[in-house]
Structures are given as C-alpha cells and as structure tokens.
Amino acid sequence: MMNQKIRVILTAILTLSLLVGLALQVSSINLGDILKVGTIAYVVDRFAPEINTFVNTLLKNEGVSITEATKVVPIISLGDGSYVGAAQVSGAQANVDKVKAAVEIQGERRLIGARIYSRVLVPASSFDVKNIQRVKGVGVSAVIAVKI
C-alpha cells in the first residue's frame, strides 16, 4: 500500500517536472518565481489561522492587542495578480468575513524634491485585481513576510 502511494507521488512529481521543463523551453517562465508564488499561496492558505494567532499573541505580548476580529489573507499584487505575501486584516466580524485578499497597489512620485514611494494594501472581497471591491470598515493590521 505504502509503495503504491510512493510510486504515485513520484510519478506525479516526474510528470510535473517534465511539464515545467517543456514550459520553460517554450517560453521564458522563471521557475524560481513560480515556486515562490506557489509556496506563498500554499503557506498562506494552509496556515492562515496559525499565522493569525501568532500575530495576535505577538501584539498582546507587546501590550497593543487588537480588540476587533482578525483574519490572515493573501496579498495579491495589482500588477500581475501574483501572491506576494500575507496580511492580517481587522474590523467587525461581519466585515472581516467578507475579506478574501489584500490587494497591493504601489506608486511612486516626486514631491518637493523627494522621491516618495507608497505601498497601499486594500482589503478586498475577491481575488479579482481588475475590479477591486474594497471591504469598508476593515483595515490591515499586520503584514506577514514569508521567507523562502
């Protein structure tokens, strides 16, 4: 039974490797980027409740605990729609439940001789970066970096 499972897993890995290899030959896909985005998406999806508990405990231990409902969601880049990290959102439970992702919007501007760079995270009700639907009454309370 175990040997059969191992064979199935190895066959799947080999097949995936061959498909990725073909894709790399056909186009200029960066395998490292694909693996990072996939890993971030998996980690955020799989461990969101544990990450949320960790952030809440960290804040409580520092005396700045959040009194609203919280949840960890993926950060999605507006530019290409890829997963680039995770964010904790907070607010009333009904509003937090609506949040599916934090959409990252970046901007740069010169202002009075200084270069100003901004990274804005918008709590959104879907993963659609072409039609961002902001969830009102919810803010981003933490940004979580996933080291790969």
Residue 72 has what pLDDT? Answer: 96
- Cα–Cα distance between 119 and 105 in angstroms, integer? 6
Q: Domain for residue 21, yes or no?
A: no
The confidence band for 57, taking pLDDT boundaries of 50, 70 and 90, is very high
Q: Domain for residue 4, yes or no?
A: no
Note whether 99 and 138 are within 8 A (CB): yes
Domains contained in the chain, number: 1
pLDDT digits (tens, 9 = 90+) for 75-124: 988 776 676 789 999 999 999 999 999 999 888 898 888 999 888 999 99
Residue 87 has what pLDDT? Answer: 95
Instruction: Say what the alpha-carbon torsion angle 120, 31, 127, 133 is, to the nearest 10 degrees.
Output: 30
Q: Domain for residue 70, yes or no?
A: yes
pLDDT digits (tens, 9 = 90+) for 127-143: 887 888 999 999 999 99
Residues of the domain holding 106: 32-144
Q: Domain for residue 45, yes or no?
A: yes
